[in-house]
Amino acid sequence: MTPARDGDRSTSDRGSARRRVLEGAAGVVAAGAIGTTGSVGARTNDPNGETDERTAASRNTDELPLFDGHVHLIPEETLGRVPLGANQLIAWMDENGIDRAVVLALDSPESYPVPASSPWVLDQVDAYPERLLPFCTIDPRTLVYGEDAAENLLERYVERGARGFGELKAGVPIDDPRVERLYELCAEHELPILFHTDEKAMTDDVGLPGLEDVVASFPEVDFLAHAHGWWAHVAADVEEADLGEYPDGEIDEPGRVPELLGRYDNLYGDLSGISGWNALTRDPAFGQAFLETHADQLVFGTDFLHPEQAIPQLELFERFDLDRSARAAIRYENLASVLA
């Protein structure tokens, strides 16, 4: 078992790590890397803030940067959704005041009908090195070709700029031995891992015993937890069917999500997707308290993947009343520290 967050990493250690990250982010802003996008300028140069674009007016009032921990680029039309290219993604980010975004690859058939392969994602983001932060992924079943093949691919992706591993969304158990080999490789390369757990991909039992074993076994790896199977566990009463659903209703008893966040400081909650939003809003009073208590381990994200998509997370900071330090943590500091 690995240390609880109140175990060996002291508050002051966390504080100094946070300060380093802040200084880094401030440096980026000062250097103009983020300012060149126009989104920061739009927020500060419009004193009236009264544009008729509800989004620009209401979403950009916060002077803090906003990083999106979960977006996609999609190469082909599928599921009635048009493709999404890097230029369009950047335009959408500008509209919504998003300074930077993690672009996740989708390599497994359970991930999406068309792959957004790691080499393709790395190519696509090339024109926007200050805005788009690519992750790579390798389906664990690739290990049928031997460990060297997977290792060589991962090394090449890292050399080409991959900043993390994901979206890990393959039709195998979350603690499958083949995935554990990938976790080891990510540990060697100091890559954070973003996984999607539901009833079809990175599967686990009710109560998330496999997930806990993984997070405890790789304390040096930061894990970003995403999707139904994870977020259903924000409440204690979880049934098998909830692992692929959006359970509703008030939360009488907090579940494994707050418990595991409290126990492991290498575990983060990815607030993207309907699952993330549902976990916050099914019981708004619970959601408010959850955001406040776990602000240091929650990451803003959208799961944006096609232009027509409604993104409730863009209202998050109006919907919930958070102080500046909690907003800073969720909007960019936590993700920046995971990527550092």
CB of 117 to Zn ion, least distance (A): 15
Number of helices and strands in the chain (H, E)? 15, 8
Q: Which CB sits closer to Zn ion, 74 or 211?
A: 74
Taking CB under 5 A as the binding criterion, the range among 8-16, 61-69, 184-192, 299-307 that sits at the site for Zn ion is 299-307
**Which residue number, 166 or 173, has a Cβ lying nearer to Zn ion?**
166
CA–CA gap between residue 19 and residue 262 (Å, rounded): 22
Q: Nearer to Zn ion by C-beta: 283 or 303?
A: 303
Kindly tell me the burial class for residue 103, based on how many C-beta atoms sit within 10 Å of its own C-beta (0-12, 13-18, 19 or more).
buried
**Cβ distance to Zn ion smaller for residue 73 or 208:** 73
Q: Can residue 270 be called a binding residue for Zn ion (CB under 5 A)? A: no
Min CB(248)–Zn ion separation in Å? 22
Which residue, 43 or 226, has its beta carbon nearer to Zn ion?
226
DSSP string, 152-182: HHHHHHHHTT--EEEEE--SSBTT-HHHHHH
Alpha helices in the chain (DSSP H): 11-30, 39-44, 54-59, 86-95, 118-124, 147-159, 177-188, 209-217, 228-231, 256-263, 273-281, 284-293, 316-319, 324-328, 334-339
Binding residue count for Zn ion, defined by CB under 5 A = 2
Q: Residue 104 pairs with which residues in a beta bridge?
A: 72
- Rank residues 90 and 227 by Cβ distance to Zn ion and give the closer one: 227
From 37-45, 216-224, 263-271, 301-309, span contacting Zn ion (CB under 5 A): 301-309
Please tell me whether residue 303 binds Zn ion under the rule CB under 5 A.
yes
Nearer to Zn ion, 167 or 242 (CB): 167
Measure the CA–CA gap between 99 and 122, rounded to whole angstroms: 19
Torsions phi, psi for 52 (to 5 deg): -80, -5
* Binding residues among 170-229 for Zn ion as defined by CB under 5 A: none
Select from 174-182, 244-252, 277-285, 297-305 the region that touches Zn ion (CB under 5 A).
297-305
Residues 74 and 87: their CA atoms lie apart, in Å, by 12
- CA–CA distance, 102 with 68 (Å, rounded to integer): 6
CB of 44 to Zn ion, least distance (A): 31
Q: How many residues does the chain have?
A: 340
* Binding map of Zn ion across residues 70-109, x = CB under 5 A, - = no contact: ----------------------------------------
**Closest residue (Cβ) to Zn ion?**
303
Least distance in angstroms from the C-beta of 303 to Zn ion: 4
Neighbour tally for 91: CB within 10 Å: 12
Q: What is the closest distance, in whole angstroms, from the C-beta atom of residue 104 to Zn ion in the complex?
A: 6
State the residues that interact with Zn ion by CB under 5 A. Answer: 167, 303
